[in-house]
Structure 1
Amino acid sequence: MYMEQLKGLEDKIKVIAFDADDTLWETQTYFDEAEERLCSVLAEYGDSQYIKEELFKTETQNMDELGYGVMAFTLSMIETALRLSSDRIPAERIAEIYAAGRTLLRIPATPLPGVSGTLEKISRSRRYRTIVITKGNMLDQENKLGRSGLKPFFDHVEIVSGKNEKTYSDILEFLDVRAQEFLMVGNSFKSDISPVLKIGGYGAYIPFHTTWQHERTDEYDHPKLFRLESFSGLERLVL
């Protein structure tokens, strides 16, 4: 069945889009480390599991106003600390939490294994338009893309507030490409893969070793879904 899926795929696809965080470079691990720091600072107010649950609750409540990314995460950590301490947490501890969040603006954005080589081959093939579709803070995402050294491989970058069927449909309309000519590559089944499959596109799913709780969802099989063990496995699909 997998080989049947592959037949002629390179002739159907015109645009390949890539998620950024935990697809092109590692991100979630650094957020997990900041979360552990929060748990350490707030240890007197509860155990780690409780602190993490309360943080996620705060993040979820803030999404409509703050969206995703470092600033939203940092503000949610501070808000959680204030709430759990009944606004009595010392200023120096708030400073520690702020510093933990601030470090996330300087993560190295080193390309994950196979990313640079595969993108270079796809670029050299000149078969496809290649774009990035990522959510988060615009300046932070632009800076990470710059630090990664991968920007020359992409024709276009979209930094969005969220990823759903309408997001992808709007991007495809802007690019003047049909869904059946579009392949999305990413590590989040919920944000990168499922919405694209639902509008008729193709998805290449590359799971990462850790996933943010908000991105966890039930997965399913689909004739336009490809599950890859590594980024370099993409070469077999499109080259």
Structure 2
Amino acid sequence: MRRDNKLTTIGFDADDTLWQNEQFFRLTEKRFAAMLADHGEEEHISARLLEAERRNLAVYGFGIKGFTLSMIETAVEVTQGRVPASVISEILDAGREMLSHPIEALPHARETVEKLAGAFRLVLITKGDLFDQERKLTGSGLGDLFDAVEIVSDKSAATYSRLFSRHGDGPAKSMMVGNSLKSDVVPAIEAGGWGVHVPHELTWVLEHVEAPAAEPRFRQISDLGQLPGLVESIVSAG
């Protein structure tokens, strides 16, 4: 692998690409629905929570803190303002537990990042709460392998154009790797880079879009263990 080829910079998403994340949201959502079982079926409570999350993204952004506030808002709504203080306390406890959960690396995460480090500029590009993302990166033990870390409020083509120009040789010589087609793959391709989709069994519904299958710079792999080989093939073809 040589850095003088056309691909010089690789960006990695964090949550559900390098380590587990969504599963903790799903478990907490089930716990939340159980707290409010007297006010509706699990599907109804979850649907109301999703509505609140959708409304609140522009205000709270992505992450556990916004999720916790959306749970509180939903509890107030479905109980018509009569939610007990004990339930609010339990919701806050659930949020704190999520914020302190041990980091669970996904298969091949470390070995793949280690193989690519040094041969390419590696940039971690993740969205969410600053403190929580920093905590997870530290807990993962992967932080020293990245040349740069960017925690952003959202991911768009403009985001990738800016970051790959700042930390690399521009989006045309860059690749973004992640589990979200909406946040990691499509906007990276729109910016002019490569977009590599690594599907995760759990992906938040608000991150679902159609795969850009017709795009020549779109690739999909089943796990991170396949990434070095894919990168080698792209570099060799260049």
Q: Fold conserved (TM > 0.5)?
A: yes
Mapping of 1:77-226 within 5 angstroms?
77-123=71-117, 126-175=118-167, 177-221=169-213, 222-226=215-219
AA at the equivalent of 1:226: R
Task: Deviation per CA, 1:112-136: give whole Å up to 9, x if none.
Answer: 111111111112xx22110100000
Partner residue, 2:236 = none
Distance 1:143 1:193, change over 3 A: same
Question: CA contact under 8 A between 2:39 and 2:78: conserved in structure 1?
Answer: yes
Partner residue, 2:227 = 234
AA at the equivalent of 2:225: S
% of aligned pairs identical? 40
Aligned residues: 230
Distance 1:103 1:10, change over 3 A: farther
Structure 2 residue 34 is the aligned partner of structure 1 residue 20: no
What is the alpha-carbon distance in structure 1 between the residues aligned to residue 166 and residue 125 of structure 2?
13
TM-score by length of 1: 0.93
Question: CA contact under 8 A between 1:42 and 1:81: conserved in structure 2?
Answer: yes
What is the alpha-carbon distance in structure 2 between the residues aligned to residue 100 and residue 152 of structure 1?
31
Partner residue, 2:24 = 30
What is the alpha-carbon distance in structure 1 between the residues aligned to residue 228 and residue 126 of structure 2?
22
Task: Deviation per CA, 1:41-75: give whole Å up to 9, x if none.
Answer: 01111111111110011011111110010100000
Question: CA contact under 8 A between 2:168 and 2:174: conserved in structure 1?
Answer: no
Structure 2 residue 48 is the aligned partner of structure 1 residue 48: no
Question: CA contact under 8 A between 1:165 and 1:198: conserved in structure 2?
Answer: yes
Structure 2 residue 52 is the aligned partner of structure 1 residue 66: no
What is the alpha-carbon distance in structure 1 between the residues aligned to residue 85 and residue 34 of structure 2?
16
Task: Deviation per CA, 1:176-216: give whole Å up to 9, x if none.
Answer: 52211000000000000000111210011100001111101
**Residue 217 (structure 1) shift:** 1.2
AA at the equivalent of 1:161: S
**Residue 38 (structure 1) shift:** 0.6
Question: CA contact under 8 A between 2:68 and 2:91: conserved in structure 1?
Answer: yes
Question: CA contact under 8 A between 1:37 and 1:97: conserved in structure 2?
Answer: no
What is the alpha-carbon distance in structure 2 between the residues aligned to residue 13 and residue 53 of structure 1?
42
Question: CA contact under 8 A between 1:115 and 1:231: conserved in structure 2?
Answer: yes
- Say which SS state the counterpart of residue 177 (structure 1) adopts: coil
AA at the equivalent of 1:131: V
